[in-house]
Amino acid sequence: MMSKEEFLKELGEINPGYNMEFIGKAYDKAKELHEGQFRRSGDPYFTHPIAVAIILAQLGMDDETIAGGLLHDVVEDTNYTRNVLVSDFGEEVALLVDGVTKLGSIKFDTKEEAQAENLRKMFMAMSKDIRVLIIKLADRLHNMRTAEYWDIEKAKEKSRETLDIYAPLAGRLGISSVKQEMEDLALEYLYPEDFKTLSAKVSETRVQHEAFIGVVIEKIKAALDQMGMHYDIYGRSKHLYSIYKKMVLQHKQLEEIFDLTAVRVIVDSVKDCYAVLGQVHTMWKPIPGRFKDYIAMPKPNMYQSLHTTVLGENGEPFEIQIRTYEMHRVAEYGIAAHWKYKEGQTDGKENEEDIKLAWLRQALEWQQELKDPQEFMETLKMELFSSQVFVFTPKGEVIDLPSGATPLDFAFKIHTDVGCKCVGAKVNGKMVTIDHVLNNGDIVEIVTSSKSSGPTNDWLNIVKSSTAKAKIKQWLRKANRTEEVERGRTQLEKYVKKKGYDPQLVMRAANMNKAMKEMGIANGMNELYIQVSNSGTVLSKYAGLLFKYFDEEEKLELIKQEEKEKALIADDNKRKKAAEHRRDNPGIIVKGVDNPMVRIARCCNPVPGDKIVGFITKGRGVSVHRADCSNMKALPEEELARFIDVDWEDIKEGKAYDADICIVTADRKRMFSDISKCCEDMDIHISGVNAKSGKDGAVHIILTLSLSSTQEMQKVLRTLRGVEGVTDVYRARS
């Protein structure tokens, strides 16, 4: 077993900034409490918390998490209480340990019920501090590393749970190193024969692949050295489970998998990423459909990189991944990268702006709704395993949904009200039904109606996302309660008519009582209306008391207060809408119309100084085009009535617009680097790039640049024409 001195020395080599006194105290307490306990291997039990703590340190976690790793089993396995833990190490460490501790004192009817409730508890703890899950992942990883000491049935059971739950959770947090090792270890115990066969085959071909990739790396190095770029480059082998999954799901042979070995290039900036991509595509021919831009559209777990598959000289395909150093850090450590020490310092807190945990918040929403353990586990697996599809709103915002998602999933992702009022959708400009399956890159526009009757039980079979399912179920429950309330009102009206009371006066009194409750005015009648509404039961004393309680003066005063409140809310909503219009307005004046919805047309990308026209779209406001836009000129005569006069307003300094520039150039080394340098010298941001070789041997490059005016564009065109080898530069036409 590792001594305290050896343990702290190893931590110091990983990160000298750790608080060794605090962590050493946790080491001493955990060792003391686990004294006399042993693992199945015969080793002292304390070897496990030490291993967990080292894994956490390798992930770059902070002092409290390392201490939590050392102490994660003490409350469950010893007589050490949470209160003493708080006294010794503080509330933060206690929260982490408590989140990992199983529900040991509660007896469950089935193993699945116990698993579901333990996961519920962990999810609730994760909502307070995501480090709970990171400790649990480190705990499970070390247990899988020592799974050889379990009996075969338990090893298979834990491996299945790891593959179904914990590896996908690590993937959702972006901690690829933990995810991949867990998957390979689980594969070994679940499918031992397949594991042995695949390992042997991969080993046979690995030497050949590595030699081939070595040649590729040397060629890329030579090109990047000529470009004067700072970089790191190395080969990466695909892990076994990923290969196995492709072979099984896609029915492929080992030799049919392109990315068994890939080249990874790491550079300083996003601009350098695209420069390397341009260089690679001039050296080898890219395979159509095999380019993925995860920089422009990151994965939900924050992963960013450029992936392209190209053909080598011998016709063998291989993959190249390009990313910045920061992207690489996030790709390796995911959310754990947030706690990485910077010069020995860390704040140890989550920053919700930087860490995208939307999937966790969604999981917490639906897990509250699911009472049946089997349904909970099935939904959790579906949420973790579902691959993603990326679609766009009409404004160009990227929305990620589970594979197989429909417009209904999209609508509920936008807002609950949009989903509930959805009656159809347009996908890429064409009307589709609500059960239409969405594909990557689709532009989705939801059609709503105020007359929509809302969700039905059938909708639950259409949607794929757990979030949409939870919102539909919530709406259906609320609709049923509303029917009960209406039945109660009807019964109350019948009752007061029978007694000779004025039914309008009594119902207004009930409404005023509800308004008083909402405004926080305490009185003995506050619960009266709620009881009538919720139960639908009518008792004579309710109607009598309601009628008796309000005289005309009190009713008028409450009505005035209610109307004043509504007016204030209406004014506030009006101000918010006006502010949203001002934020979204792209600097365009629509003559004769106040605060219209305006968007810049992507087909021609006008910039200030261009002659422009407005076109009234159906449901998306005014689309602004260049006057010479070919799409506008091609419109049939009956559409001309939808043109409207528009003009540029005084543009504030710093406002930029995307515009596409076409460059025709000779194929030479450092070409893209020189073009990038030109843009950098002019302080012009490159927001997109596309390059391909023409039949004439020339290279055609389309740059998407952020420009403020036509004057700036002309300057860019003139400057780029001066780059060696450039034969033509012009603005892209629609």
Question: Which positions are catalytic?
Answer: 76-77
- Tokens linked to 712: 């700036």
The span from the CA of 426 to the CA of 429, in Å, is 5
Helix (H) / strand (E) element for 727: namely strand 726-731
- 394 DSSP 8-state letter: T
Dihedral of the alpha carbons of 122, 124, 130, 136, in degrees to the nearest 10? 0
The span from the CA of 231 to the CA of 336, in Å, is 24
Q: Would you give the distance in Å from CA 695 to the centre of its chain?
A: 41
Neighbours of 408 (CB within 10 A): 25
β-partners of residue 508 are none
- Tokens linked to 529: 């209306």
- Interacting residues of 533 by C-beta distance below 8 A, sequence separation 6+: 484, 485, 488, 489
The span from the CA of 568 to the CA of 405, in Å, is 40
Q: Is the CB of residue 184 less than 8 Å from the CB of residue 240?
A: yes
- Interacting residues of 179 by C-beta distance below 8 A, sequence separation 6+: 167, 168, 170, 171
Q: How many alpha carbons lie under 13 Å from residue 213 in its C-beta half-sphere?
A: 23
Q: What are the helix (H) ranges across 42-175?
A: 47-58, 63-70, 74-77, 82-89, 91-100, 111-128, 131-145, 152-161, 167-172
- Tokens linked to 285: 């021919």
Q: Is the CB of residue 319 less than 8 Å from the CB of residue 158?
A: no
The span from the CA of 168 to the CA of 95, in Å, is 24
